[in-house]
Amino acid sequence: MRKLVIAISMLGLVGSAAFADPILDRQALMKERGKIAGGLSKVVNGQEPFEAAAVLTALQALQANAEKLDIDALFPAGSDAGDTTAAPKIWEDMAGFKAVHAKYLADVKAAVAAAPADVDALKAQFDTLGSDCGTCHQTYRIKKG
């Protein structure tokens, strides 16, 4: 768990570095999101012990990360071209894309507000967040070679 906290504090540095390239910026945020979630998954799976304070720190980091994903700034028109797996569907249905991200952010905030007291509570929240990942990636992401 200590490792999780250290990893998050290091991620803060990455997250604050601005690349001034929307594709790189949004990719950095998504990678950070994956790393934080990956740390939490170890607690959910029982590979690491549940420590309420560290878990809350991780959830807060997820919230900060989600709030940083400014869709207007990071998904400007034309940024479907280039080295990106963002699907053209994002720009065809920007309202829908924003809605699924808003739901994710709301679910993260709810998890922070609830401050899980045990691993079962965390697991329920984690399942919700994981299904948010899938909902968005199903429609708005396209794998490329």
Partner 1 sequence: MPLLKKLVGAALILGGVGAVAGWLLSAPVKLDAETLAQLGPGDAARGKRIFNAGGCTSCHAKPGSQSDARLQLVGGLQLKTPFGTFVPPNISQDAKDGIGAWSVEDLANAMLKGVSPSGEHFYPAFPYPSYARMRPADIADLYAFLKTLPAVAGKAPGHSLSFPFNIRRGLGLWKRLYLSKEPVIAFPEGTPAPVMAGRYLVEGPGHCGECHTPRAFTGGTKKSEWLAGAAAAEGNGIVSNITSGEGGIGKWSEADIANYLETGFTPEFDSASGAMVDVQKNMAELTPDDRAAIAAYLKAIPPHPNGYQARRKTAN
Residue 77 in the binding site for partner 1 (CB under 8 A): no
| Token couple for 112 | 């922070």
Give the x-and-dash track for 27-66 against partner 1 (CB under 8 A): -------xx-xx--x-------------------------
Q: Rounded to whole angstroms, how far apart are CA atoms 142 and 136?
A: 11
Residue 81 in the binding site for partner 1 (CB under 8 A): yes
Residue 85 in the binding site for partner 1 (CB under 8 A): yes
State the nearest-atom distance from the C-beta of 19 to partner 1, in Å. Answer: 11
Q: Distances in Å between the alpha carbon of 78 and those of 64, 68, 69?
A: 26, 21, 18
- The response to whether 136 counts as a known ligand-binding position is yes
> Minimal CA–CA distance to 128: which of 145, 144, 114?
114
**Number of shown-chain residues binding partner 1 (CB under 8 A):** 21
